[in-house]
Structure 1
Amino acid sequence: MELLGGCYEQILFGFAVRPGETWVAVPDFTHHAHSASLSAVAVNDRYVVTGSKDETIQIYDMKKKVEHGALMQHNGTITCLEFYGSAHLLSGAEDGVICIWNTKRWECLKSIKAHKGHVTSLSIHPSGKLALSVGTDKTLRTWNLVEGRSAFIKNLKQNADLVRWSPSGDLYVVVIANKADLYKLETASVFGTIVTEKRISSVRFITDCILAVAGDDEFVRLFDCESQKCLCELKAHENRIKEIYCFKREDLHILVTASSDGYIKMWSLDLDKIKNPPLLLCETNTKARLTCLAVWLKRDSETKETTTDVSASSSEVHEAEQPLIKKKKIGWSSHKKPSQRDGQDAPMKRKVPDVQQKKKKRLK
């Protein structure tokens, strides 16, 4: 298990976590990943990818602990990254484009002009058939990933900052400033709203019924999705919380928090005693201004770790229902022009990804 944190200081931090009676986070590597601050990080069972204001996506092979190369399709800050299983990566950026990458050969299968403004957030449905994205054009867009086209566009009153699917895919949440609207997939309509005093910076579904919310204060709050009532409030840091992450290890629900105070902390959640504050498992001080967070989980026969975050879910689970891999006619590599309602294919960029020519560098 590896804690991964990106920061304004252009560094990717890696901390190896040793579970036990006393959990310990040991510094593993620091890598000067980009020429500008890091803005996004995502993981699958082998790779870690980071996005930055320098317009590039850097790839790291966590099994070999080497730098694998760079993807340079976007023009603008990389704002969001998310893996689907072991074969695909979606990226969004300030150029309004969503790119779909094959992670075997690291080639761009399709680039879609998704929003008229920036892409601020995206999320892949657990089935892999749908994705949601929000942008600065005040729209929430649903994407059909089987055919590689736009499926539905919903106009919003304001620009949305975040979008996230629940673990089952029956619900999703859209964040605008200090408000989180909860939607049901079946009706595509809002059934509840969570409002906080400060701007929301990160949301994660612990389960389909419990949503963790953090923002521009020191607290993480757990909300009941049906009633929208606060179940628990935790003062996690001494400064604003930039991102939260959650996963399940055997029967243990674990919440990870990263803050502008430089600390990354791991917490144990007891869902049977949800009103009790989470228990601190371990913490580490990066002494940097953190911006993004992820947890890489080793996948082998000796571990039984599973995650509630789609970006780190087991490839074995996804390959059982793998429309992205089994169907060759997925539309991602198609060059047909979509209809006017669809996202338009983005023009080819000056910069093209080439991970083969870049010399692999070992992480230090």
Structure 2
Amino acid sequence: MELVAGCYEQVLFGFAARPAESWTVVPVFTHHAHSASLSAVAVNNRYVVTGSRDETIQIYDMKKKIEHGALLQHNGTITCLEFYGTAHLLSGAEDGLICIWNTKRWECLKSIKAHKGHVTSLSIHPSGKLALSVGTDKTLRTWNLVEGRSAFIKNLKQNAHIIKWSPDGERYVTVITNKVDIYKLDTASITGTITTEKRISSLRFITDSILAIAGDDEIIRFYSCDSQKCLCEFKAHENRIKDIYSFEREGQHVIVTASSDGYIKMWNLDLNKIKDVPSLLCEVNTKARLTCLAVWLDQASEMKENSDKAATLSQANEDEKSSIVRKNKVRRTDKSDKTAKKKREITPEKQKLEAPLQKKKKKQNSSS
């Protein structure tokens, strides 16, 4: 597996994480991915995609370790990226658009004007049929991904900046500043609220009912969605935590955290002893101001994840969804054919990802 993280300094980092008697993290590549700071990162079984303030989405083929191209559909900072399985990617940006991408040909199947303001966050239901989004127009919107249209709009009292489905799809949460509202899917009503002292910057479902929450301080807290009580809290970093990621491997629950202090850390969480502080597995100092984080899992782990998803969907529904989405391919509007075509194409050049910083420094020293 590889840890991938973006930062304010426009660099994408890649670190190989290897489980052994003690976990080790080895630098694999660094890449000057964008002309502005990175704002979002997402992974599937083959690709890593990054979004930036430079209004582009960059694609990296992790198996071939090359830069695959760029997506240029949005005008404005890319705020959120999320894959569904191996075939689709959803992107949201400050231009208010949500774009649905086919990851086989990397073409935009549908471009939806989702919010009057910025799209701040989106989340795809585990079934792949629905998505939720929030924006700076104080709305929470439900999207029918089968038909590519709006299904429901809920007005919020304030702008939410994070939205997330639970793994089982039975509930979802929104984050407004330092408050987490927990909704039940069948009633679309709030069943509980969690409030923290500091603004929340990242949130992750560890299980269907346990949330990991981090914010503008150095502490990670685990909360029960049912009781809204804090189950455990611990100091993870020396500065604010920017992102949390989690995955399960061979029965072991691993939490990965990235902070403005430059460190990426991996933690072992024992769900049977949730009140105990997780143990630190390993850490690496990137010496950069990190902004976003993801974990690219190897094929074996990904196959398990995909088989779990496949169990929730029948093949008939998959066929129906893909046929309808194909009919809803984005139409060219008031822009010229050339401009519209250029926006949907990826850049042709494929560049190899750079070796780690240490190797670059050796070359510089030898040349001087």
Q: Same fold by TM (over 0.5)?
A: yes
SS of residue matched to 1:352: helix
2:111–2:330 contact (8 Å) kept in structure 1 = no
Who is 2:328 aligned against? 334
**Aligned counterparts, 1:89-238, within 5 A:** 89-238=89-238
> Quick one: structure 1 residues 254 and 114, their matched pair in 2 at CA, closer, same or farther if it must change by over 3 Å?
same
Q: In 2 relative to 1, CA 245–361 (structure 1 residues): closer, same or farther, beyond 3 Å?
A: same
TM-score by length of 2: 0.91
Structure 2 residue identity aligned to 1:254: V
CA distance in 1, matches of 2:318, 2:333: 21
* Counterpart residue type for residue 330 of structure 1: I
Q: Deviations over 1:143-196 (max 9, x none)?
A: 011111100000000000000000000010100000000000010010000000
Amino acid at match of 1:362: K
Deviations 1:212-237 (A, max 9, x none): 00000000000011100000001000
Q: What CA RMSD, in Å, does the superposition of the two structures yield over aligned residues?
A: 1.9
| Counterpart AA for 2:84 | Y
8 A Cα contact 2:109 2:329, kept in partner: no
SS at match of 2:307: helix
CA distance in 2, matches of 1:313, 1:163: 25
Q: TM-score, normalised by structure 1?
A: 0.92
Aligned-pair distance for 1:330? 2.2
Matches within 5 A, 1:1-364: 1-300=1-300, 305=301, 314-320=305-311, 321=313, 323-324=317-318, 326-331=320-325, 333-334=327-328, 351-355=342-346, 357-364=347-354
Structure 2: gaps (5+ residues): 355-368
1:332 positional shift: 5.7
Letter in 2 for 1:352: K
Q: 2:283 & 2:333 partners in 1: Cα distance?
A: 43
- The question of whether the paired residues in 2 share the 8 Å contact of 1:12 and 1:30 is answered with yes
Cα distance change of structure 1 residues 137 and 213 upon mapping to structure 2, 3 Å threshold: same
Letter in 2 for 1:358: P
* Gap regions ≥5 residues in structure 1: 307-311, 338-344
Distance 1:20 1:336, change over 3 A: closer
* Secondary structure at the counterpart of residue 272 of structure 1: helix
Q: Which has the larger radius of gyration?
A: 2
Structure whose residues are more often helix by fraction: 2
Q: Distance between the aligned counterparts of 1:190 and 1:336, measured in 2?
A: 35
312-321 vs 182-191, greater mean Cα deviation = 312-321
Cα-to-partner distance string for 1:122-145 (whole Å, 9 max, x where unaligned) = 000000000000000000000011
Separation in 1, partners of 2:38, 2:207: 29
How many correspondences in the alignment?
347
Deviation at 1:324, TM superposition (A): 4.9
Q: Which range moves more in the overlay, 328-337 or 178-187? A: 328-337
The CA distance in 2 between the partners of 1:346 and 1:252, in whole Å, is: 50
